[in-house]
Amino acid sequence: MCHKQLGRQNVEPSNGLLLAPAYHKSGYEVVRKLKQALDRAECSPGRHLEQKQFGYLLGVSKSTIHDWFHGDLAAPIQNFLCAFERLTETDRILLLREFCRQCPRLEHPRLAHDAQTLNRLKASLDQRAGLTIVVGPSEPRTFLVTAMGHAITQVEPTRRVCGLDVHRPDTFVPVAGVCYCQHPPNLEQTRQLVAHTMEDVEGSKAKLVIFNGIWSGMSQFSKAIQRLAATRHLIVADNFDPALEESMRVGPNPVLVMAVSQIQGKQGLIHVAFRQSDPSRATR
């Protein structure tokens, strides 16, 4: 009886036997626990992600995330969990560290070491419209703007982000809704990418727009930049002259400049210097 060919799923024949690995939790239990953990990571205390937003952050369609919550545990997920069960606790943690990219957060020690800076960064996300320029070397600049993108659900769980980032997200968790480049583009390719992306960005309902590392291809879109910054919070990040905001006036809203640098010998800690333009000089 125990040698019956039952397949590799948790089959329960009439005799009540289960064939190993016989995973014991339902899909709803597993997915609910995962969502609760993400609620704590993504939202401010007392708030939570909608089911649709949870799926959006994971790149899962609305119908699939519904099945995850209300159907059986997907077989590949079950098999994956069963493999992890067979490892020692230490090996599980080490393997997850190897598989998982770093998720930039404003609360990460690289930024949170300076409480005043952390408060100013969080306050900047309350901005509903206007332009923020982030200036500095590629790595710390990308860490900062990615952390800001991830933090937007703490302001409002349903708020979305869009944009374009020149970097390939091999070492960090990308911001849901932002497009990333597979390979570093040249100038002409950058212009084409911006032209292709700008129409989608303007047609989206995202309240935060991030453009990182593509300023060289954006000069022909000054009017589009003004339109975006008039109704949304637009972050333009690159390694350009901090005085650039003089040529990027977007109406009565002030331009906030964040100059980013890495503190030498301090385990990658990031320093952010803030400078805000005078809105009275914003009319041109």
Region 206-233 average pLDDT? 89
CA 209 to chain centre: 12
The Cα 269–Cα 98 span in angstroms is 22
Q: Would you place residue 246 in the very low, low, confident or very high pLDDT band (cuts 50, 70, 90)?
A: low
Confidence of residue 282 (pLDDT cuts 50, 70, 90): very low
For residue range 174-191, what is the model confidence (pLDDT) as tens digits?
A: 999 999 999 999 999 999
Amino acid letter for position 268: G
Could you give the 3-state DSSP secondary structure of residue 94?
helix
Angle between helices 27-42 and 51-58 (to 10 degrees): 80
pLDDT band at 163 (very low <50, low <70, confident <90, very high): very high
Please classify residue 152 by burial: count the beta carbons closer than 10 Å to its beta carbon, then call 0-12 exposed, 13-18 middle and 19+ buried.
buried
Residue 123, pLDDT > 90, answer yes
Question: Which pTM does this prediction carry?
Answer: 0.86
Q: Is the pLDDT of residue 19 over 80?
A: no
Q: Would you place residue 238 in the very low, low, confident or very high pLDDT band (cuts 50, 70, 90)? A: very high
Structure confidence at residue 35 (pLDDT)? 94
The answer to whether the CB of 3 falls within 8 A of the CB of 15 is no
| pLDDT value, residue 4 | 39
- Residue type present at position 224: A
Average pLDDT value for the chain: 86
Q: Please give the domain boundaries of the chain with CATH numbers for all domains.
A: 27-99 (no CATH), 109-281 (3.40.50.300)
Is the per-residue pLDDT at 250 higher than 80?
no
